[in-house]
Structure 1
Amino acid sequence: MPSHGDAEALDRYSALVPTLLLMVCVVVSYVIQRYNVRAVQPSGASLIVGVAFGVVARAKTARGADVAAFQFSPQAFFYGLLPIIIYSAGLNLKRRDFFADFFTIALFAFVGTVISSFVFGLSTFVLVEIGVIARKHLGSNPLLECLLYGTLISSTDPVATLSVFADVSAPPLLYNLVFGESVLNDAVAVVLFRTLAEFYEQEFTVSTFWTVIGQFILVSIGSLLIGIAIALGTALLLKTLGLAEAPPNVAASYNGTAYTFALLLISGYFSYVLAENVGMSGIMSIFFTGIGNAHYSYHNVGEEAQIAVFKSFEAAAFLSETFVFAYLGMQVATFDHLWDFGILLTGIPLAMAARAVNIFPLSRLANTLRETPIPRNVQVMHAACGLRGAVAYALAVNMPSTRPGEQGSRAVETGTLVICLVSTLVLGGATLPLMKHLGLHDPSDREGMVSSAMSSTAHDGLGFINPSPRARAVRARALADGHPIWYISIAFRVKARLFEWWEDLENNFMIPTFGGAPAHGAWSPVNTSDAGGSADAHETTPANGEEYRDVELTPIGDDDEKDLENLRAAGPSSDDA
């Protein structure tokens, strides 16, 4: 047993190593971004640096207790690092783009995660039954343990992929789908994992499955409501305190920006811990608190705070993400692994197959509900973006166990770590070549036309009103592909009515009560001299430089038939090949 002096020295050493590790990773990340290094992404570089530090730490510490000081702590991750990452994602979310594709994103995040989890889990259980994976490495309930394994593997973390997207001008639709799905997917995977874990010592039957799904839906709705409620309460508090302008006769040391930062930080963390304490999902709650604070609270603070506070959260999230990837790399050397080659060799293929079963059928379903269908090459790229990260590994560490004296499943934990490393370093590094192969790296080519169309629809507020002329052409392409006119017309009408209802609620109640910009403020200001002040003629300028005017919704008719005839005369597109 180490002496008191040895324990103090170990504490100092275990604090020094992570600090130095983070400093090195930040510098390496800067060099990669500064000199546009394409061979490795910052997240992958942090993993490699973490592995190197882990090897050194292992060599410097002879005792097992010393090595344990550097092992992954799920408590520190779930209550220290993850909240700030998710909260910043909500605060800095491009809400207009996100909600323009929200129904599609939710389809992938909720339904897709459940599909992927059960496909992976049941396939793994079959491998256990036929002897490919050693049953002795699992607990007394191998079916549920395999389902838990499938759930945690379904948690995606495409940081490396998204950084490539930003560098090569990927189609906005692709970025929106991957980013939006990943944020919600983490929350969904955690909720589903914890729900399944409650039934670990029970026999898993069909009735158990429906009980799990019911609890999953209940927790998701409850978490969303908690997040929204905390955001609205924070907005009302900031508005009441009057932080937007410095009041007269304040103390010389008054700092409104500091108070704003403190209240926004506390509101986010309060949302997280409150949801966790009442059995809901803190991840989902804090994400929607971030969205709500950005939508309402942002307009109740001063201009200086608007810039400083939100950039501070972005920087804090960057540090947290960097540290998470680096610490994940350290586990390669510091964790006492249990190698099951059945798990190791089948993990990546099963993860890719489960994601394909998720993405392609749901994309086909989503295309029946969208005015602009998801192109095939975007679907392929989306399926390839299912990288695994720290959330998956943290859940693996929290795996329940029936084995005496052991917490979690060492074989599953080792397999998850290998999948995280391979997907981030290998699959993440293959993002750019795959984008080039699919024709998604150059916005000037034909797929760039799809990119521009998607970018244009992103300027339609929440996506509930008529699209731009370019998007109408894509809609006509959908007609040419066989979507029924009556169905598309109904979808347009429903979206238009939803938008009108939301705009009325925002302008007449939400904004006067909680603060914020007018509901149509997401677009450029209305040119009243041209539009006569009409609210149904918002002038906008899309990202591709084309100008168009949003007009009152009309049924699909002669114009659409003309578009359809023009497309038919032009022949099939490259997407149809």
Structure 2
Amino acid sequence: MVYILWLFVMALAGTALAKKMKFPYPIALVLLGTSVGTFSIFNELKLHFMDEDVFRNIVIDIFLPALIGEASLKLSFRKIRANSRAILSLAIGGTLISYLTTGLLIAYLLHWPLQVALVFGALMSATDPVSIVSIFKSLGVNKDLEITMEGESLANDGVAIVLFKLTVFSYAMITSSGWMGIGFGIFEFLKVSLGGALVGSVFGFIASRVVSHFDDYPLENSFSIALFYGTYFLSESLHFSGVIAIVAAGLVLGNYGRSIGMSEKTQQSIEVFWDTIAFIGNSLIFYLVGLEIQQISISQYWGYIIIAIGVAIISRSIAVYLSTMGTTLPTSWKHILNWGGLKGSLSIALAMSLPSNFPQREAIVGLIFGVVFFSLVGQGLTIGPLIKRMPNVGIQKVK
């Protein structure tokens, strides 16, 4: 308990200082965690939280349902539908393009087996919207651009996780069965994705009907907790996508549930409640990422990391510009969506969930940490100036 309290206090202090200085707090916490990790007095704290199972469980099982639920709960279905073509093109087409491009380039450049390279491609396809969305809000960026970025990231995480699991656990069966194997892979992808969406939609509808009979915001907040964590773990137990289930459940509750029975007080309460949970979760996760980066020995992989960073940038660029060719997105938006596709804690947690005997596991983890650090700090610090230089992004002054 003492470790958790120390972690929380340090993450909270770092976040408060960053916000006071008008600096993106996720980036500040990664840098703070990396710096703090060099001091021996924090060795016990590092050893407690840097156990791979502890880190993975904190990110995936504890905070991921809350963070995905909070984000999907606030998304307007009307605005999602208005930008659906761009969002789906990026989340499905763009993620698949990034997955394949990254995998093929890594296999060629690092001489890794194709399965190992495609696993890395799946990890690099997941994006983290937290830093970018906070910058968007501070600059008053066009709402449609913000919705497109956040909508893509939410759906993209679900698709990337499905690709990751299929590549790790079903690759041999898919590749050894020819066209039948490819058909099985497509079927499994659709089953996992659509199954998660169905579970989330059904339980989101049920939760919406239930909360419509109450005007008791502590109770309704509790229902939303049960909805997000319940749909996540139920979907995962059925071998469906838990992330896609939460996105569907949050969209239904946040739109249908809000329209049929949430009082103004309840709506405000749920929003404040989940804002607080997401704030705490993000603060702890980004601080942990900084601590973990300091712990991982990546010095032996510097050459590979530089190659991986280049591959990640190239693959994201190809994915964004190719998948959005048939959309009406302004070119300036495409530039921002491209550079704003940051990698984050989900990529790290998934990499650390690889079986201990998986080929090149240590190298994959080292490369992921290197790319994530560059992405959060390098891209995170330069996306703001890029946005300010781009036309047609609707920047407004925000007090």
* Same fold, TM-score > 0.5, yes or no: yes
Structure 1 residues 319 and 69: alpha-carbon distance in aligned structure 2, compared to 1, 3 A threshold: closer
2:348 counterpart SS class: helix
* Aligned match for 1:100, one of 82, 92, 96: 82
2:314 pairs with 1:353: yes
SS in 2 for 1:97: helix
The residue correspondences of 1:549-564 to structure 2 (distance < 5 A) are none
**Aligned counterparts of 1:338 and 1:281: Cα–Cα separation in 2:** 35
Give the equivalent residue in structure 2 for 1:388. Answer: 343
Letter of the structure 2 residue corresponding to residue 314 of structure 1: D
- CA distances 1:124-166 after superposition (whole Å, capped 9, x unpaired): 001133xxxxx5xxxxxx2111101001111011322222211
What is the Cα deviation at residue 59 of structure 1?
5.1
Q: Distance in 2 between matches of 1:309 and 1:123?
A: 45
Preserved CA contact (<8 Å) 2:174 2:184: no
Matches within 5 A, 1:452-471: none
Match in the other structure for 2:368? 416
1:226 aligns with 2:199: yes
Which residue in the other structure is 1:430 paired with? 382
Partner of 2:209: 236
Q: Which residue of 2 aligns with 1:71?
A: 51
Q: Which amino acid aligns with 1:24?
A: M
For residues 228-264 of structure 1, the C-alpha deviation after alignment (integer angstroms, 9 at most, x for no partner) is 000111122223xx213xxxxxxxxxxx222211122
Q: Which moved more, 1:434-443 or 1:316-325?
A: 434-443
Contact conserved, 2:30 with 2:288, CA < 8 A, in 1? yes
In structure 1, the gaps of 5 or more residues are 1-14, 130-134, 136-141, 245-255, 367-372, 445-577
Change (3 A) 1:442 1:259: closer
| Residues 71 and 331 in structure 1, CA contact (< 8 A), matched pair in contact too | no
Tell me what 1:147 maps to. Answer: 118
Q: Aligned runs of 1:319-358 on 2, under 5 Å?
A: 319-337=280-298, 339-358=300-319
Q: 1:19 to 1:172 in 2, by over 3 A?
A: same
In structure 2, the CA distance between the partners of 1:107 and 1:55, relative to structure 1 (3 Å rule), is same
Q: Alignment partner for residue 14 of structure 2, among 1, 22, 28?
A: 28
C-alpha displacement of 1:29: 2.5
**1:81-124 CA distances to partner (integer Å, 9 max, x unpaired)?**
10000011111113322221112201110111011001001110
What is the Cα deviation at residue 209 of structure 1? 4.0
CA distance in 2, matches of 1:172, 1:60: 42
The aligned residue for residue 113 of structure 1 is 95
Verify: 1:181 aligned to 2:152, yes or no.
Answer: yes
| Structure 2 runs not aligned, ≥5 long | none
Percent sequence identity over aligned pairs: 22
Aligned-partner SS, 1:339: helix
Query: Are 1:365 and 2:336 matched, yes or no?
Result: no
Distance 1:32 1:388, change over 3 A: same
Aligned to 1:42: 25
Q: Deviations over 1:377-405 (max 9, x none)?
A: 111111111110011111111224546xx
RMSD, aligned CA: 2.4
Question: Which has the larger Rg?
Answer: 1
The aligned residue for residue 169 of structure 2 is: 198
* 1-structure distance, mates of 2:241, 2:28: 31
Question: Deviation of residue 418 (structure 1)?
Answer: 1.1
The residue number in structure 2 matching 1:276 is 236
Q: What displacement does 1:210 show?
A: 4.1
Is residue 348–residue 365 contact of structure 2 (8 Å, CA) maintained in 1?
Answer: yes
Task: Determine the C-alpha separation between the residues in 2 that align with 1:193 and 1:209.
Answer: 16
Q: Report 1:536-547 matches (<5 A).
A: none
Deviation, structure 1 residue 22: 2.6
Look up the match of 1:296.
256
Query: CA 1:88–1:199 in structure 2 vs 1: closer, same or farther (change >3 Å)?
Result: same
Does structure 2 conserve the Cα–Cα contact (< 8 Å) formed by 1:144 and 1:204?
no
Match of 2:66 among 75, 79, 84: 84
- Amino acid corresponding to residue 182 of structure 1 in structure 2: S
Q: Are the counterparts in 1 of residues 174 and 185 from structure 2 also a CA contact under 8 Å? A: no
Distance in 1 between residues matched to 2:313 and 2:16, nearest whole Å: 31
TM-score normalised according to structure 2 size: 0.91
User: Are 2:292 and 1:312 aligned?
Assistant: no
- Counterparts of 1:66 and 1:302, CA distance in 2: 44
SS in 1 for 2:38: helix
Would you say 1:379 and 2:334 are equivalent positions? yes
| Amino acid across the alignment from 1:145 | V
Matched-pair contact (CA < 8 Å) for 1:338–1:411: no
TM-fit CA distance, 1:265? 1.1
Aligned-pair CA distance for 1:55: 2.5
Q: CA 1:443/1:329 → structure 2, altered by over 3 Å: closer, same or farther?
A: closer
How many matched pairs? 392
The partner residue of 2:188 within 215, 220, 223 is 215
Distance verdict in 2 for CA 1:66–1:109, change over 3 Å: closer
User: Using the alignment, how far apart are the partners of 2:388 and 2:185 within structure 1?
Assistant: 41
Matched, 1:262 2:241: no
Inter-partner Cα distance in structure 1 for 2:174 and 2:196: 28
Q: Letter of the 2:60 partner, please give it.
A: F
Q: Is the 8 A contact 1:158 1:182 kept in 2?
A: yes
Cα contact 2:126–2:156 (8 A) shared by 1 = yes
Cα deviation, residue 291, structure 1: 1.1
Is this contact kept in 2: 1:25–1:45, CA < 8 A? no
How many angstroms apart in 2 are the aligned matches of 1:199 and 1:209?
A: 11
For the residue of structure 2 that corresponds to 1:380, the secondary structure is helix
Conserved in 2, the CA contact under 8 Å of 1:50 and 1:326?
yes
Report how far residue 16 of structure 1 moved. 2.9
How many Å separate the matches in 1 of 2:388 and 2:46? 47
Q: Which amino acid aligns with 2:236?
A: E
Matches of 1:375 and 1:60, distance apart in 2: 48
Go from structure 1 to structure 2 and tell me whether the alpha carbon gap of 1:61 and 1:364 turns closer, same or farther (over 3 Å shift): closer
- The question of whether the paired residues in 1 share the 8 Å contact of 2:145 and 2:393 is answered with no
